[in-house]
Amino acid sequence: MAKRIFITATNTNIGKTHTTLQLMRYYADMGARVCAFKPIETGVRDEPPDACALWNLMRTLNPHTSSLHVSDVVALTLPLPAAPYVANGARIVDRTQLLERLTHLETYCDILLIEGAGGLLVPIDPEGMMIDLIALFEAKALLVTHASLGCINDTLLSLEALQSRRIPHEWVVNCRTQDSDFDHISAPYFKARFPDYYRLDEGIERLAQVLIK
């Protein structure tokens, strides 16, 4: 079984795909065969943008995947840009199909990066939420959090959800150019409570190494 890392976030548009692509490049540079999986993508009219980004880089970094199509990377696409529960009309998502797609991709790689949709408590159907897929896939979670005002609350709530379910996890702040206030608005708290916390703008190396331990 490949090493499975599930990339989630405090909300949508936080930087899951950006983080996943960075990790893919890092692990490939280490010499690992890397694959990516997007179980569910909503807001898809034609091609799934997130899955396509993962697929294109995967085929570049891992020649063994050259025969795979983007449909091998994403299991379920839905046109409405909403939670899967809503976008799929409250129909049950076939977990067996998700697991089959995951195990097929694992035959091509040593490290499998799984990108979620939205945040941890996004409902996927009447029977579960995105956080439940992390346990289903037996993956380690990486929580990506934003760096704008409110990130402390959002980060702590998401960490509490992961801890309450005993899901192994790490977390990282995606500090973007527009987040110039982070260093004096939110960073002092993170530095006090989590002295060794990770920031994407400071490099992915240390985080990438701890994720595969």
Residue by residue, what is the 3-state secondary structure of the chain?
Answer: CCEEEEEEECCCCCCHHHHHHHHHHHHHHCCCCEEEEEEEEECCCCCCHHHHHHHHHHHHHCHHHCCCCHHHHEEEEECCCCCHHHHCCCCCCCHHHHHHHHHHHHCCCCEEEEEEEEECCCEEECCEEHHHHHHHCCCEEEEEECCCCCHHHHHHHHHHHHHHCCCCEEEEECCCCCCCCHHHHCHHHHHHHCCCCEEHHHCCHHHHHHHCC
38 is catalytic: yes
Averaged pLDDT score across all residues of the chain: 97
Q: Out of 38, 140, 191, 213, pick the active-site residue.
A: 38
Position 177 confidence tier, pLDDT thresholds 50, 70, 90:
confident
pLDDT (tens digit per residue) in 26-37: 999 999 999 999
Q: How many domains does the chain have?
A: 1
Report the CATH number at residue 40.
3.40.50.300
The model carries a pTM of 0.97
Return the pLDDT at 1: 83
Containing structural domain, residue 62: 3-211
